[in-house]
A = this chain, B = another copy of it.
Amino acid sequence: MYQVRTDLALEAREKFQKNDAEVKGVRVEEEKSGNMKVTKVIIETENGAKAMGKPKGSYITLEAPDMADSDEDYHREISRQLAEILKELMPIEKKELSVLVVGLGNREVTPDALGPRVVDNMMITRHIIRKFGKYAFGLKRNHQISSIVPGVMAQTGMETLEIIKGVLDETSPDYIIAIDALAARSTKRLNRTIQITDTGISPGSGVGNHRHALNRESMGIPVVAIGIPTVVDAVTIVSDTMNSLVVAMEETRKLEDLGRSISRLEEAEKYELIRELLSPGLNAMFVTPKDIDESVKRLSFTISEGINMAFFPG
């Protein structure tokens, strides 16, 4: 069956809420913190995972309506909240960790550059601690942070996973933090939502559609993923408009029979029809805001600050 694409568990969940349905095996918790909203979607069972189209685990979403603005203090607040969430998902305050930060995506395509640009601002300590010992920074806990920007397959000729796996084998970190630009279903969420999850990156997610999972199973160590939706699939945009059209038609007297006749189509037929009509190649396209440069610059800084705060407080 046709599944409109979203990398956000929040949006996958919303699909069901519209129909007032409870999804078995999926628990949702919401919390307000200032004018930020933190939502936890916890997929607890395999059935829940199947219904949601996402692996079991915790998906924490940080929504902030003004995240797209340039207020610096506000961004600092978001970074702080992100730091708290990371400290919940990883034993940062309990022991010294060795963490590999992976900046996924393509630095040369603006909305896909989030991961590489987060890494640009990371505080990197592994080489210093290994050389000068754990007292080099005079901190209570000396986490060893290393990082890599593996690039995309068209640039390297290799699977991203091959590169990361190789680096793991040589350097044996305890945790991976993977940063990636995501695809949302709704343009309204673009650059306004941070999703943090302990499930890693799934095949088909990200702007460039990863071909393989980057998770505990494939890597052998826990993978925390941080993502921000920066694009919408071109196919999604068109499908959503079509759906709105049907609803609008049914509500409009004048278009009564038009609406009715579309409604009579099966869901599957409807999507198949749209898919056929779409320009060939639209699958290889994305939709993104014209000011995406400003957003990616600001948001990559907000995330790197959050990670830095989590590991190096004070």
A residues sitting closer than 8 Å to B (CB atoms) are: 70, 106, 108-110, 112, 119, 123-128, 144-149, 151, 153-159, 162-163, 165-171, 186-188, 207-208, 232, 234, 237-238, 240-242, 244-245, 248, 255, 257-258, 261-262, 265, 273-274, 276-282, 284-294, 297
Residue of B nearest to A282 (CB): B187
Residue of B nearest to A121 (CB): B297
Residue of B nearest to A276 (CB): B248
Interface contact B279-A290, CB-CB below 8 Å: no
Interface contact B151-A146, CB-CB below 8 Å: no
Which chain B positions have C-beta within 8 A of A112? 290
**Cα–Cα, bound, A132→B148 (Å):** 29
Which chain B positions have C-beta within 8 A of A106? 293
**Cα–Cα, bound, A232→B279 (Å):** 12
Interface contact B288-A286, CB-CB below 8 Å: yes
Which chain B positions have C-beta within 8 A of A170? 158, 162-163, 165-166, 169
Interface contact B290-A273, CB-CB below 8 Å: no
**Cα–Cα, bound, A279→B190 (Å):** 12
Of the candidates B151, B281, B285, B289, the one whose C-beta lies within 8 Å of that of A149 is B151
Which chain B positions have C-beta within 8 A of A207? 290
Which chain B positions have C-beta within 8 A of A166? 163, 165-171
Which chain B positions have C-beta within 8 A of A277? 241, 244-245, 248
Interface contact B287-A285, CB-CB below 8 Å: yes
| Smallest CB-CB A-B distances: 7 pairs | A166-B166, A126-B157, A146-B157, A258-B261, A108-B293, A244-B277, A166-B170
